[in-house]
Structure 1
C-alpha cells in the first residue's frame, strides 16, 4: 500500500473513532507504531485537529470537526458548490464561518479561468428558493448570458408565435418561473420573457456586433436597459413595504431607502404586466402608495377588487 493511500484510509479510520491509540492503528494497518506516528504528524500538518491525551487511558482524539478525505470534484461541481454557498456568506447567516472557510479552500484550487466563469455566472443568474421546475433551454440561456452570445429562438406569447434573435442579460426566478431580460435585435429594443414560452432556441456563433453587457448584470439590468416601451413607476413605501420590496428581484433595483427605513420605488420599467408588478404592489396594501403613472393606480385598484371578489367566492 502506498503512503498516500494509507494516509487516506487512516483519515477515514480516525474519523470513525472517538478515541484511538498508536498500537490500535498500527495493528489495523499492519505497520509499526513509529510509522503511524509519522503519519499522524503528516495529517496534523494537513489541518486535522488531533489531540494527544495522557494517563492510563491515554491516546489520541479529534479536537473539533472531522476532516473528509480528498474528494475529486470537477470544475463545474466546485463552481456549483461555490455559487450555492453565496447566501451563507452574509453576516446574518448561522453558517457563515463554515461557508467562508469552504469558500477559501475551494477558491485556492480553482483554476483562474474557472474562477472567471464563476464570477460571470454570479452576475447572470439570480434565483430564489424553492426553485422553479427546470425550464427547457435553461442551460443554453445561462451559457449565452455568461459568454454574451446571441440566441435565435421561437417564442410563444399569448396566441402569437415570434421568431427573433436575442442576447440575454441573464436569468432570474420569480413567482415560480424563470424570466430572461434580453436585447432583441429584431425589434432593436430590450424585452423580458418567460423561459417556459420558448419553443426552440439555438446559439448563433457567427453573428457580428453583439451587445457589450460587461457592466450590465442580472443585479442592475432594470436601470441599464432603456426601452421605448418603459413606464415610469413611482411608489411611496412604508418601512414594511420597503423591507418586502428589497427582496423583490426586479423592484429592488429601483428601491431608494430613506433614513427611517421607509422608501420609494422610482424608475423606468419594462415588462411590468408580464412581471405582475400591479399584483405585487396591490399585495403591499397600505404599505404602498402609487404616485405615478395614474393609469397604474387604476390597474392596481382593479387587481385589488378582482382579488377581493375571488376571496369572497372562495369562502361562500
Structure 2
C-alpha cells in the first residue's frame, strides 16, 4: 500500500478507534511497529491530536475532538460551503461561534488565489440579510447539547423584566428566526411544550434535582405540540392571506394554522389560558390581518392593548 494511502486510512482508523496500541495498528496494516510509529509521528505533525500513555496497559489516544480526513471539494462546492458559513455572520450568537469562524478562515486561506479573488468579488454582490439584534444568547451550546442528549436543564429566564430561576425544561431543539434564536422545549412548570427566547435564557445547567427526562423521541421543531394544555381555552381566529404568511413564519404557530385554497386561513385550537397575554400581544400586532372570534377573554385583552396604544397617541 502506498504511504500516502496508508496515512489517509490510518487517520480514519485512529479517529474511529480513539484509543489503540501500536501493535494493533501494525497487525491491521501489515507493517512493522517502527513503521506505524513513524506514521503516527507524521500524523501528529499534520495536526492529529495524539498522546501516548506508558505502562503495560498504555497506548495511544486521540484527544479533544477528532480531526476529519482531507476532503476534496470542487471549486463550486468550496464557494458554496464558504458562503453557507458566511451567511451566519449577522448573528451575534451561534452554537459553534469559534468553530464556524475557524472553518470559514480555513476554507478561505487554503483556496487557490483565483478562487479567493472570486469569493472577494462575490462578498459584495450577495448577502443573506438578518436583522442585527442587541444582546447575546450565551446558552445556545448548552441548549443544543441538552436537546441531543435529552437532558433536563434548570434555567434562569428573563420574562417581563423579571428573573425567573430554577425553571426546568427539556429542550427539543433550537432555531433562528428573524435574527433571534428560539428554543422549543418541554416545560415542567407548565406541563407542556413552550418556545423560549434564547437571549432571555441567562443560565442553563443540568437540573440539580435530577428530574427524570421525558421521552421526546417523536418531538421535533416543526411538529405540533404533543402535550395537552393546562386549563385550555378555545382559540378561534380568521386570517387574511397576509395574516397567514405572518403566522407561517412563526414556527410555534404554524402547526395550528389551517390554510385555505385562496390563501386565507383560520386557527381553531385549544391553548393554555395562562398564555392569553402572549397571544394578545401577537394578534394585536397583526392588526387588520387577523380577527379573533374567541375566547372573549383574549378579545378583551386585545381591546385593552389597543386602547393603551390609542391613549399614547392622543
TM-score (norm 1): 0.50
Structure 2 residue aligned with 1:134, among 120, 133, 136?
A: 136
Secondary structure of residue in 2 paired with 1:154: strand
Shift of the alpha carbon at 1:293?
0.6
User: Aligned pair in 2 of structure 1 residues 306, 154: CA closer, same or farther (>3 Å)?
Assistant: same
The equivalent of 1:24 in structure 2 is none
Conservation of the 8 A alpha-carbon contact between 1:238 and 1:288: yes
Counterpart secondary structure, 2:292: strand
Shift of 1:304: 2.2
Describe the shift of the 1:250–1:188 C-alpha distance in structure 2 as closer, same or farther (beyond 3 A). closer
Give distance in 1, aligned partners of 2:285 and 2:189. Answer: 36
CA–CA distance in 2 between the matches of 1:70 and 1:209?
44
Q: What is the 5 A alignment of 1:208-227?
A: 209-221=212-224, 223-227=225-229
What is the match of residue 146 of structure 1?
A: 148
Instruction: Summarize the Cα distance change of 1:263–1:194 in structure 2 as closer, same or farther, 3 Å threshold.
Output: same
Q: Contact 1:230–1:268 at 8 Å: present in 2 too? A: yes
Equivalence for 1:171: 174
Matches within 5 A, 1:275-294: 276-294=278-296
TM-superposed deviation, 1:209: 4.0
The count of residues paired between Structure 1 and Structure 2 equals: 197
- Matching residue of 1:194: 197
Structure 1 segments unaligned to the other structure (5+ residues) = 5-65, 72-76, 85-127
CA distance in 2, matches of 1:257, 1:200: 38
State which drifts further: 199-208 or 255-264. Answer: 199-208
Q: Flag the 1:149–1:131 CA change in 2: closer, same or farther, 3 A.
A: farther
SS in 2 for 1:170: strand
Q: Distance in 2 between matches of 1:129 and 1:263?
A: 27
Root mean square deviation of aligned Cα: 3.9
Looking at structure 2, the residues matched to 178 and 227 of structure 1 have their Cα atoms a distance apart, in angstroms, of 24
Matches within 5 A, 1:1-316: 67-68=74-75, 129-130=130-131, 132=133, 133-158=135-160, 159=162, 161-173=164-176, 177-185=180-188, 188-203=191-206, 207=210, 209-221=212-224, 223-270=225-272, 272=275, 276-310=278-312, 312=313
How has the CA–CA distance of structure 1 residues 69 and 190 changed in structure 2, closer, same or farther, with 3 Å as cutoff?
A: closer
Q: Please give the secondary structure, in 2, of the residue aligned with 1:143.
A: helix
For residues 269 and 209 of structure 1, what CA distance do their matches in structure 2 show? 26
In 1, the alpha carbon distance for the partners of 2:175 and 2:232 equals 19
Distance 1:257 1:185, change over 3 A: closer
SS in structure 1 of the partner of residue 307 of structure 2: helix
Per-residue displacement from partner, 1:106-162 (whole Å, max 9, x unpaired)? xxxxxxxxxxxxxxxxxxxxxx93364431211110121133221123334454543
Return 5+ residue gaps in structure 2 as ranges. 5-72, 89-128
For the structure 1 residues 279 and 206, does the alpha-carbon distance in structure 2 shift closer, same or farther, using more than 3 Å as the test? closer
CA deviation after TM superposition for structure 1 residue 299, in Å: 1.3
Gap change, CA 1:175 and 1:296, over 3 Å in 2: farther
1:247 Cα offset (Å): 1.9
- Alpha carbons of structure 1 residues 307 and 172: separation in structure 2 relative to 1, 3 Å: farther
- Maintained 8 Å contact 2:137/2:202: no
Q: Which whole-Å CA distance do the structure 2 matches of 1:257 and 1:206 have between them? A: 43
